Chains A and B, each alone.
Chain A
Amino acid sequence: MLPGSKPESGRRKSRYLLLILTLAAITIATLDARGVGIISSARDSSRDALGPVGDFGNWVSTPFRNAWNGITNYDDLKQENERLQQQVDELKTNGMREKRAQRELKKLREQLNISFLADMPTQIARVDTARASNFDDNRVEIDKGADHGLAVGNPVVTKAGLVGRLTNVSRTRSVVQLISDPDFHIGVSVGKDQIHGVGHGNGDANTFIVDRGIELGREVRVNDYVFAGGIERSLVPSDLYIPIGTVKKVTPDAAERVQNMQVELSARLDRLDVVQVLKWTPSD
C-alpha cells in the first residue's frame, strides 16, 4: 500500500457516506411532502409513543420549570399574577391537591360552557406545552386523537374563540394548526352587517389579517367583531358564529379596491392550556 493511500480512501468513504445520507434525507423529505402513507404512519406512531415520554418529563419537571420560569419570565409572571389575583378567593381550599383539582375543574367548566357552540359534539383536550422546535411553527399538540373521535379538519376553540384546526391526527395525539399561521386561510364575517371576507394568520400570536373580499365603501369600523362561520363551505360550521377577534385597524387598499383589516385575536394563543375540538369536518 502506498503511503497516504489509507487516509485518501477514508476520505473517499466519508464523502460517499455523506452523499448516501444526504440523498436519503432528501428522499424522505420528498416522500413526506407528497404524503406517502408509510412516512406519515411512522410519524404518527412515534407521536403516540413519545406522548407519554413528554408527559412524564412534563410532570417530573413541573416544579423545576415553575422555579425556572419564575426567574426568567418574572415580568410575565407579574402580569399573570395580577390577572389571577381576582380569582384567588374562588380557589381557596384546605389542601394543595384540592386546590389543583379545583383549578382543573374550573378550566374544564369554562370549556363546557362555551355559548357559541350550541349542541355541537365536542372533545376537550389538553395542550402539550413543551415545544419540540425552537422556531415558532404555529402548531401545537393536544393529547386527544382518533381514539376520541377526532379527525383532520376539526376546528379547535377555547371559550374566547377560534384557535385553529387539526392538521394531523394519530391514535392518541393531534396537531393543531393555529389561526396565527400565515398559511391558515378562512372565510370571515365582519361587523353587524356580516360582510364576508377572507383572512389569514400573521405569524404572531395576537394578530389576524383580513385582506380579501371586503370592498372599499363597505362599512367596517374599529372594534367591529370578526367571526368565523356564517359562510357555506367554510372551515367551521356555517350555522355557528365562532369569534376570531376585533378589528383594530382598517386600511384602504386603492390598488386592489379592498379594505385590509388588522384583527386582534380573541383567543390567547400564547397561553393555551385546555381547548375544545369540534367533532365536525368541513366538506372538501
Chain B
Amino acid sequence: MTPDSGVAIRWAGLVTAAFVIQVAFLNQISILGVHPELMLLVAIGAGLVVGPHRGAGIGFAAGLLVDLTLHGNLGVSAFCYTLVGFLVGLTKEAILGISKPLSVLIVAASSAIGTVLYAGVSQLLGEHTFSDPRFLTIIAMVALWNAVLALPVLNLCRRTEGSRVTL
C-alpha cells in the first residue's frame, strides 16, 4: 500500500464516521431548531489542514453523502461543500501559520458561507430556503456549532492526513 492510498483510506474512514455520527446523533440534537453540520466541517477541515485539492475532494464526497439524506436536489450540497473546501484551502495557502483562534474563526465564517451558498443554490432550484423565517438563525447557529466543534475535528483531520501537514 502506497502512502497516498493509506491517506485516502483514512480520509474515507473519517468521512464515513462523520456521516454516521451526523445521521445517527447530530441530526437529533439542536439549539433553536438548528443542528451541527459535521460534514461541512470535515470539508472545511480538509481544506484548512491540507489545502484546496483535498478540501474540494473531501467536500464533494461529504456533500454527496449529505445529499442522499436530504429531500432537495441531489448534488447541491456536493457542489457547495466542494467550493467551500476549495476556498478554505486557498485561504490556508494565503495565510501562513494559522493560529488556533484564527482557525476557529475561519471555520465559523466558512460554515456561514457554506450555509448561505447552499440556501442560494437550493432557492435557484425551486426550494424556499430564503423565505425560511429562521434563515439568519440557521446561519448563525451553524457557524456557532461548527466553531465549537472546530478544534477536535481539525485535530482529527490533521491526524488523518498524517505527518505531512503544516498547520
Return chain A residues, CB-CB under 8 Å to B64.
25, 28
CB-based A-B contact count at 8 angstroms: 144
- Whether B100 sits at the interface, judged by CB under 8 Å, is no
Residues 194 to 221 of chain A near chain B (Cβ within 8 Å): 203-204
A22, B73: Cβ atoms closer than 8 Å: no
Q: For residue A201, which residue of chain B has the nearest CB?
A: B128
A interface residues, how many (CB within 8 angstroms): 53
- Whether A65 sits at the interface, judged by CB under 8 Å, is yes
- Whether B105 sits at the interface, judged by CB under 8 Å, is no
Minimum CB–CB distance for A16 against chain B, Å: 10
Query: A32 CA to B24 CA in the complex, in Å?
Result: 25
- Whether A255 sits at the interface, judged by CB under 8 Å, is no
Please list the residues of chain A having a beta carbon within 8 angstroms of any beta carbon in chain B.
Answer: 10-11, 13-14, 17-18, 21-22, 24-33, 39, 42-43, 46-47, 50, 53-54, 56-58, 60-61, 64-65, 68, 72, 129-139, 168, 175, 181-183, 203-204
Looking at chain B's contact residues, the main secondary structure is helix
A29, B53: Cβ atoms closer than 8 Å: no
Query: A52 CA to B119 CA in the complex, in Å?
Result: 28
Looking at chain A's contact residues, the main secondary structure is helix
Minimum CB–CB distance for B22 against chain A, Å: 9
Say which one of B1-9, B26-34, B159-167 lies at the interface with A.
B26-34
Would you give the 0/1 interface string for B125-144, flagging 1 where the beta carbon is closer than 8 Å to chain A?
Answer: 11111011111001001100
Query: A18 CA to B141 CA in the complex, in Å?
Result: 28
With A50-B23, A133-B71 already in contact, the answer to whether A29 and B76 are too (CB < 8 A) is yes
Minimum CB–CB distance for A183 against chain B, Å: 8
- Whether B122 sits at the interface, judged by CB under 8 Å, is yes
B53, A134: Cβ atoms closer than 8 Å: no
Minimum CB–CB distance for A54 against chain B, Å: 6
B35, A18: Cβ atoms closer than 8 Å: no
